[in-house]
Amino acid sequence: MKVKWCDRGVCFPKGFISAGVCCGIKEEEHDLGIILSEKPCNVAGVFTTNRVKAAPVLVSMEKLERFSTFRAIVVNSGNANCCTGRKGINDAKEMCKVTATALGLDESEVLVCSTGVIGEFLPMENVRRGIEEAAKSLEGEDEAFSKAIMTTDSIPKRIAVEMEKDGFLFRIGGCAKGAGMIYPNMATMLAFITTDVEIPSDVLKAFLKDAVDASFNRISVDGDQSTNDTVLMLSQRRKRLPEELYQDFSGALTRLCESLALMIVRDGEGATKVVKVEVVNAESREDAERAARRVANSLLFKTAVFGEDPNWGRIMGAIGASKADFNPEAVDIYFDDVKLVSCGMGLGREAEEKAKEVMKKESFKITIDLKAGSECYHVWCCDLSYDYIRINAEYRS
C-alpha cells in the first residue's frame, strides 16, 4: 500500500470543487462556503447530542433520513442559526433552495450547516448574495472554503491522503473548524470529509462513526458542548471501493479525523499546550473513559498545565470524582516517562522538578495507571489560559 499525506482538503479527491466568500455575516472575513460534487454521493453524518440543536442540524438530519444521495453542502460561519424558531428552520431550508437553484440541482441534494453566535437571525439578504457569488467562484482548491467555516479559529484546518494498492488509487480529503466550546459529543466544530470512491451507505456510516469515536469524540478544550456540531462525509459514486480495501480505508479515515481533531485542540482558544490524558489498567473501558474525561475537563488541572505546575493532587481529585472503580492507594501517575506518583503518593520534589521540565514542552502525555484491570482510554485536551477568558469575553463585542 502506497500512502501519501498532504496539506490539502475536501477538493483533493477527484470530482469535488468548492468556494468561500465574504458576504457580510462577519466583518471583512470569509463567512460562506459551498462544496459541490460532480457526481451524486452517498453521505454519512454525525451530529451534536446536545438537546438544543440548531436549525441547520435539524434540517440536515431530516434530509439524511429522507434522501439517499447528495451533491452539495452550503455552510455559513458567524451565525449559528440556533434558538431561532420556525424562522430559523425556514432560513436553513432557504439556504438549501437558493444553493440548489444556483448550482442547477434539486433542493433534496443540498445539505446545510452553520456555526457562530447563538440566538440571532441570519441576514438572509447577505446569505442569498453570498450563495450566488460562491456558486460562481467554485474551483478545485479548498483554501477559501476552509477559511469560510472558521469562527474563533486562528488557522484553517485541513488534511488529505492518497492511497494506492494493486493499481487501485483513492483519495480522502477533510477540513474542520473549531477552537472553543469543544467537548464531545462532538465539540463546537464542523468537519467535512470527501472521497472519490463509492462506499455503501451503511458501511460508510459505520466507518465514520468509528472514526469520530476515535477522534472528535476524544477532544476537550473547555468542557462546553455546542448546538451545531456536525461531521459530514461524502462518498462519490465514481468507482466502487473493493471490499478487500475496507480495512485500509477505515484506518486512513480514522487517522485523518485524528489529525483534524488534534488541529482543533492545538488551536484551542488561548491554548499553549496539548496534553494526551491516558488511563490504563482500568477495570472496565467505561471506568477508563470516565477517569480520562474527568481529568481532561478539570479546570483546575487545565490551569495547572498552563502554569506548568505538576500538581498531581488535582489529577487524583479528578479521578476520584469520576465514579471509576479503583483503589486510590494503587494509582501511579506519569508525565511522559517521569513517574510522579506511586501507589497514590507523590515521589517528592525531585520527581516534581523533572515533571516540570516535561510540562515546558508544547505537547506531552499524562498516564494514569489505576491497576484495577486491563482496559484503557485516552482523551486529548489543552490548557486553559488568560487568553481563553479574553477571547470569550470579547466574542460578541
Catalytic residue numbers read: 188
Sequence-ordered list of residues with C-beta below 8 angstroms from that of 83, at least 6 positions apart, any chain: 52, 54, 118, 119, 227
Measure Cα distances from 387 to 154, 390, 392 in Å. Answer: 13, 5, 8
Q: 386-394: long-range contacts at Cβ-Cβ below 8 A with a sequence spacing of 24 or more?
A: 386/270, 387/269, 387/270, 388/180, 388/222, 388/268, 388/269, 388/270, 388/271, 389/270, 390/270, 391/152, 391/180, 391/269, 391/270, 392/180, 392/269
- The per-residue DSSP string of 65-81 comes to HH-SEEEEEEEEEEE--
DSSP reduced 3-state for 360: coil
Burial (0-12, 13-18, 19+ Cβ within 10 Å), 108: middle
Question: What nine digits make up the cell of 321?
Answer: 470524582
Cα angle 181-355-342, degrees, rounded to a multiple of 5 = 100
Of 199, 193, 195, 194, the closest CA to residue 242 belongs to 199
Question: What nine digits make up the cell of 270?
Answer: 488561548
Q: In the chain, where does DSSP find H-type helix?
A: 55-66, 85-103, 124-136, 143-148, 201-213, 246-266, 285-296, 299-306, 312-320, 349-359, 386-393
Q: Which residue type is seen at 134?
A: A
Phi, psi of 373 (to 5 degrees): 180, -145
Of 7, 12, 2, 25, the closest CA to residue 74 belongs to 25
Cα 42 to Cα 53: distance, rounded to the nearest angstrom? 24
